[in-house]
Structure 1
């Protein structure tokens, strides 16, 4: 006799609940999705077919499709084919869609055709959180992360790579020609059909590569991705190279919600002001605090954020390369703010001589010709036999110094940044799986990212105790919507 728990016979008749609503508990997340979408003005947000045409076959309402996608991305189901399958067997989706079962093509077309509306819904959720005062007294950590595109590295070409392919192909052609000449001189009757076919293929490939070389050299970024033209070859973790997109995000340090994000095709440098300014617009206030890593350090960017009323915290980078050259680093030259001069490692004063403009920055030049000429440790200061060592200082460097002092006095700022902004990237990549994006081109990739961010924000923890947002936070949303 078995002591295991036994199931019911599959052919036994059962009485299901009278309403499918009985299968969905009161605190089920699908109820939040349903109420949230029903309270949105989809026409105002930019969704198509809200007001359908009177002629032709009726279509699904945008609210139905939006609910399906929010549920899908919230439950790691991004594929349109898998969403179609789930609508046939998933009780929660049966409740949410009122037993509608759209086909995968309809599902995919909705996502492709309603990028503007989906982005506005993502912002609408952040706006709702702002109305609930969730971003009060918060700083915002900004960072970028590389997400793999639908483009294999072998289908990405740079000038160096395409030249290597051309040389290899030309070498192969020469080898086949040599082999065919050898066979022609042989008395034996040898079939050269295979060699001729291979040679023709190589010659055609060489023509394609030379056309590709022209295309690569004419491209502004000097690279061409054949599968996804918008994707770019970038350095990722451990200095590896991968064809990807660089997703920028701003995350609040209080609730770890993604307040603003953008899909870019460049590195982090130069993105600080663009992302931070969007955060200001989203929150409707100027005096915000932003934190970023040294990859964002740019004097123009930091000055711009401070001019916009923000407090920036970005570690300064040292790119002088003096230590590698075996000479004194700039950090060994001490600046005297009161006298506006530098004191070199030999104890000599370098006064301000003139101003110059380099790379769009107005800089003050400090130099002491006579002291440098007769200095005993000159060889440790400069490699030039004629020119003395010069110090350059940006005219707004005092603001950079104040920011660096703030970071030195509060070392926990960098820890807060890592704990805040790196968690969302790791979570979303885990949801995506090994392939990351499913769609091609930046426009479509941005739509995917909007859905992932919306799903992440709705499920993000309300505190650090592991309690889900839906364990309590959804009550506030439902109450506010009601």
Structure 2
């Protein structure tokens, strides 16, 4: 099972269902598991129960690459990529969406109650109230569910939550806005091998630089000399946590915007400041 998961990861197959299908149709997977066909639930349960052991094996793989001189660990590159979650963005709820739905449901409940009372008053009407009462119960159940979502939003202090996959976030990518995960990856310069990765529940890369660099350093067993990233990671509070022994190569957001021609740097912006020690008084 461990071979199946590690081999699947190396080819980008992270889903337990995809790994199950691969054991039925992909010859390399069939050979690897000796013709066994594990159920996706078995794969998911194994991964859940032995999560830490799998992480240790992956870390050992990186250290093996270092011994084989495939990874140097001197210069690391950080970047994030949006991976769509197995959930629809329609299931993502915000405070505003909950408020709108609760208002609409309250009006529908009032309408159904009034309709039930009207039919009761019409003695000659033979229609059963079972259908209306069932619809009323469904509306009240939906209202209770949405109120529970509102409570969860308040307790977690999240701006939104997806009822199918609570850990995913609403993120904008190249293919539009979807329920997604932000996959953080740290890559070594020599051969472009990934030394560390993590799926985080954030829709941008802010405040991820120090944490991801710390994780990569723990995997490699030493701090890098140089760490590089794009301006999406730029946060002075986060950068202050990086040791002075690591050279950080990262443009500010204004510098990146200048290169893209979005917002030119103005004459008195701090990006134009140059320190001249000879002018000190």
TM-score of the pair, normalised by structure 2 = 0.76
Change (3 A) 1:96 1:154: closer
**1:88-103 correspondence runs (5 A):** 92-93=28-29, 95-97=31-33, 99=34, 101=36, 103=38
TM-aligned CA deviation for residue 268 of structure 1: 1.3
| Partner in structure 1 of residue 188 of structure 2 | 252
Structure 1 CA distance, aligned partners of 2:89 and 2:96? 14
Equivalent in the alignment of 1:384: none
What secondary structure, in the 3-state scheme, does the structure 2 residue paired with 1:229 have? coil
1:162 to 85, 98, 109: 98
The SS at the match of 2:241 is helix
C-alpha contact (below 8 Å) 1:148/1:243 kept by paired residues: yes
Mapped pair 1:118 → 2:54: yes
- SS across alignment from 2:70: coil
Please name the residue that 2:275 is paired with. Answer: 337
Does residue 217 of structure 2 align to residue 280 of structure 1? yes
Matched, 1:201 2:138: yes
Whether the aligned pair in 2 keeps the contact of 1:159 and 1:222 (CA below 8 Å) is: yes
Secondary structure class of the residue paired with 1:242: strand
Aligned counterparts of 1:84 and 1:286: Cα–Cα separation in 2: 38
Q: Distance in 2 between matches of 1:297 and 1:160?
A: 30
Contact 1:217 1:223 in 2 (8 A): no
CA contact 2:73–2:188 (8 Å) conserved in 1: no
CA–CA distance in 1 between the matches of 2:271 and 2:166? 47
Counterpart-to-counterpart distance in 2, 1:86 and 1:148: 21
| Aligned residue number for residue 294 of structure 1 | 231
Q: 1:152 aligns with which of 71, 84, 88?
A: 88
Question: TM-score w.r.t. structure 1 length?
Answer: 0.47
Corresponding position of 1:214? 151
Distance apart, 1:285 and its partner CA: 3.6
Q: Which has the larger radius of gyration?
A: 1
Shift of 1:129: 1.4
**Aligned-partner SS, 1:290:** strand
Structure 1 residue matching 2:81: 3-state secondary structure: strand
Deviations 1:139-196 (A, max 9, x none): 3221112222233323332211211110111122233345456656768626262333
Change (3 A) 1:340 1:331: farther
Count residues with an aligned counterpart. Answer: 267
Residues of 2 paired with 1:82 and 1:213: CA distance?
34
Structure 2 partner of 1:230: 167
The equivalences for 1:39-188 within 5 A come to 65-74=1-10, 92-93=28-29, 95-97=31-33, 99=34, 101=36, 103-104=38-39, 105-136=41-72, 139-180=75-116
User: C-alpha root-mean-square deviation of aligned residues, in Å?
Assistant: 3.7
